[in-house]
Amino acid sequence: MVKSIVINAKEWYDKLNGNSYFAGTIKVDDKEFLIPFQHGYGSQYEQEAKMLLTAFNVISCEYGQTLRRYCQEHEIEYVASIKTGFKQIEYNIIKENYNLNLI
């Protein structure tokens, strides 16, 4: 049974093209998952986390249910944060550290 889900995301804004991107990690108890670098803004990182955790059979959300609501209903500690001002190069550091943990 899952006890906690912690999402740490970072957002990068491309001033030249006017697009927002994000990447990050999801920590579920003692396991860690990578949210790949992708286009999106606002709470999109939480939606992506829900999709990834569902795809890996960590959780089973109902259609239209948010990850926050799922955690409330299943008494799972839930923390989600996103930091702005992220630079694309920093994503490579997140990815490298994540891949080191897989070895």
| Whole-angstrom distance, CA of residue 26 vs CA of residue 49 | 7
Q: What is the DSSP string of 22-53?
A: EEEEEEETTEEEEEEEEE--TTHHHHHHHHHH
- Domain ranges in the chain are 4-102
Binning pLDDT at 50, 70 and 90, where does residue 103 land?
A: very low
Is the pTM higher than 0.85?
no
> b/e per residue, 26-59, with b = 16+ CB within 10 A?
bebeeeebbbebeebeeebbbebbbebbeeeeeb
User: What's the mean pLDDT in 19-43?
Assistant: 90
60: its two tokens? 């089973």
Question: Could you read off the pLDDT of 36-91 as tens digits, one per residue?
Answer: 888 898 999 999 999 999 999 999 988 899 999 999 999 999 999 999 887 767 76
Q: For residue 102, is pLDDT > 60?
A: no
